Every structure is written in C-alpha cells, then in structure tokens.
Amino acid sequence: MTHVQKKYHVPKKFTFQKVSFKRNTSPTFFVRREVKFKVIISMDWEGTGLEEKNLMAICDFKERWRVPFVHYHNPAYYTHPNFSEAEVHAFTSLAFSKDDEIGLHLHTPQHLLARAGVEPRHSPCFSRLGDYNPGPMKGQEVMLLAYQKHEVKRLVEYSLNLLKSHGYYHIQSFRAGGWMADERVWEVLSEVGVPIESSAANRRFLEGSSWEGDNLDRYSELLWGTRGSELFPFNLQTFSGQLLEIPNNLGAIDYWNTENIYQTFNELLAAGTEEQAHRGAPVLVINSHQETAADNLPKLHEFLAYLHGAYGDAFSFVTNKDIYIDNLEKLTAGSSLYA
Ligand SMILES: [Zn+2]
C-alpha cells in the first residue's frame, strides 16, 4: 500500500504547464496538462443517527485531504423525534465545509411522511425481509418508488422547503435512498427544478455484500442496467424535462471489497480512457454514509493515498455543480455532450 507523502493535499483543479515556441515572437502561453479523471466524493445522510464518532471521522478526513464533498443532506433529521434542531445544526455545521455541495437524500420514515402529509406505504423494501424499523422510524427501508408521483412530489417539495428553512438554498443534486429512483422521481426532480440526479449505481460493488441478489440489487439492475457503471455523465430525458445523471459508478465504500477495489478501479478507468479523447475526463463518483463514516472512511483514506501514489496530481476533486457547469459550457460551445 502506498502511503501519503504529504499530510495535507490541496487539490489543484487544473494544473498548468509552461510551454514556449522555438522560433516565434509570441510570448509563452499556458496549456492545460492532461487531467486523467475527476473524482466526486459523496456522502449520503440517512437521517437516522448523529454520533460523535462519525462526526470526528468526517472532520478528520476533511482535515487530512481538504477535498470537497457532495453531502446528500436529509430532511428527516429535522422531523426525527430524538433530535433537536440545535443538535442537528451543531453536527452539520462541523461536518459541512464551505467548498462542499449540499444535495438532497430521501428515505421515507413515517415521521417525515407525516409532516409532509403523505400516507405511509409498506413495500417494496430494500430487503426482501421487509422493514425492521420500529414506530415513527418505520418506512426507512421502503423504496421511494413505492409512492405515486404526486406523493413523491409532495415529499420532495416539503423536503426542499424544510431544508431551505434551515439555510440550505438552491439544492441542485439528488440521490434516492437505496439508489431507488425511477421515471416518476426523475420527472418530479425536473418539475421542482433540481437538475442533477445521482441514483444510478454500479451493482458490481454489491457483489459479495449482503445485498447481492436482494431487492436493492435486483431493482437497481432493472432501473439502471449498465448505466450505473458509466464513467461519463449523461442526459436523462423525462416527460417533464431533462436531468444530468452523474452515476455513482464507484459504489459505496460500505460495500467495497478492499482486496480488489484497486483492480476494479483500474479496469473501470481503462474502459473510460478509450473514450476520453472526445468526451473529456471520466467522472468517478464514490459514495459513503454519514452514519457509518467511522467504520468505512479508513477505506477511503487508503484509496486516496493509492490514487495519489499511482496518478500523482493528474486528477482532480470536483462536485456535481462543477460537472454541471462544465457540461453547460460544452453545450454552449456546440459539441455533442450527451450520449
Ligand atoms: Zn440512504
């Protein structure tokens, strides 16, 4: 395993190299060095726990790597019977940094549904064993696509307003609980003005985990097929408009097999590199979970150390918004962005 040489790595988005003509009166100019790939580190907030050990793990990680996160924040912390607003604020204000992007993550526990005015449904669940949560937490394991479109819309609108009331304006990114978003969810996102979707998941990373072959795995395959492993963002066309899909192609670190993650990563990247010339740099999206950060972030520490050892600074850390803006520029320039 390669060890980190520098304690603090400040990522450079673009690295510039000085180039000059041999026989030319032109002054020197700068060209962009090849950026092999871009990395998005994302974190789903489940709305179920606020443990100090996880907060410390997140703060430690950010202190060491100084990279932006896309936090998919969850409105359920504000409706959870066990958490006070002050407690949630104290936790998030330490976990979120100014360079981070705040998105929306949704599960359907009954305490959130009740506040949104949506009647609870009971299936399908992520696991064929059903939902084990008691009382007001029941429903956490039910898929968002169990709900009709008007119910999803009501829940999404309520959630965005609730987050706005706590200072989170202009949320532009979404990831569904258990990655379970279908057409009705995409249409709702388009209708409420959230342009970026990141629920497409690479099921390869569920192999060998307790989810392999379970509902989560099977539905993910049905919903996204191979699109969850795509290395380039793509256009998701709905009847209500289009979204930019940024697939979670490196899965969640919770389910990483540390024995073969490096090989899997290099195979994925090699597939993307062949297309790179005309489509730009591949975008690799890693997911994690706030509620299991202490257990799993050590895997990400090792992985980033590996990336720096293997690829130097020929990659950059970005957020969904960076990718979105970059793609808008490409569209404006008239190139064919979307596959
Ligand atoms: Zn979740």
10-residue stretch averages of pLDDT, the chain, 339 residues long? 37 33 33 68 98 98 97 98 97 97 98 98 94 94 97 98 97 97 97 97 87 92 92 93 95 89 86 74 96 97 93 92 87 50
Q: How far is the CA of 146 from the centre of ligand 1 (A)?
A: 15
33: CA distance to ligand 1 center in Å? 37
Residue 177 Cα to ligand 1 midpoint, Å, equals 4
What is the 109 CA–ligand 1 centroid distance (Å)?
11
Evaluate whether 178 touches 172 at the Cβ level (below 8 Å): no
Residue 75, preceding peptide bond in cis (omega within 30° of 0): no
> Was domain 16-332 assigned CATH 3.20.20.370?
yes
Find out whether 44 and 175 touch, Cβ atoms under 8 Å.
Answer: yes
Q: How far apart are CA 148 and CA 286, in angstroms?
A: 30
**For position 29, what pLDDT does the model report?**
33
Q: Which residues are near ligand 1, the ion (C-beta closer than 5 Å)?
A: 44, 46, 177
Distance from residue 312's CA to the centre of ligand 1 (Å):
32
Q: What is the pLDDT of residues 171-213, one digit of tens each?
A: 999 999 999 999 999 999 999 999 999 999 998 888 888 899 9
Count of C-beta atoms within a 10 Å radius of residue 164: 13
Residue 219, CA atoms < 13 Å, CB-side half-sphere: 23
CA of 322 to the centre of ligand 1 (A): 23
**φ, ψ of residue 25 in degrees (nearest 5):** -85, -10
pLDDT of res. 258: 79
For 293, residues 6+ apart whose C-beta sits below 8 A from its C-beta are: 43, 54, 55, 57, 58, 61
Three-state secondary structure call for residue 200: coil
Cα-to-centroid distance, 51 and ligand 1 (Å): 16
What is the predicted pLDDT for the residue at 332?
A: 61
Can you give the residue ranges of every domain in the chain? 16-332
Cα–Cα distance, 284 to 304 (Å, whole number): 12
What is the Å distance from ligand 1's center to 137 Cα?
A: 13
Q: For residue 23, how far is its CA from the centre of ligand 1 (angstroms)?
A: 59
pTM: 0.87
CA of 175 to the centre of ligand 1 (A): 8
Cβ-contact 43, 29 below 8 angstroms:
no
Q: What is the DSSP string of 95-154?
A: H--TT-EEEEEE---HHHHHHHT------SBSSTT-----GGGTTTTB-GGGS-HHHHHH
Ligand 1: centre distance to CA 263 (Å):
27
- 166, with CB counted inside 10 A (0-12, 13-18, 19+), is middle
**What pLDDT sits at residue 34?**
57
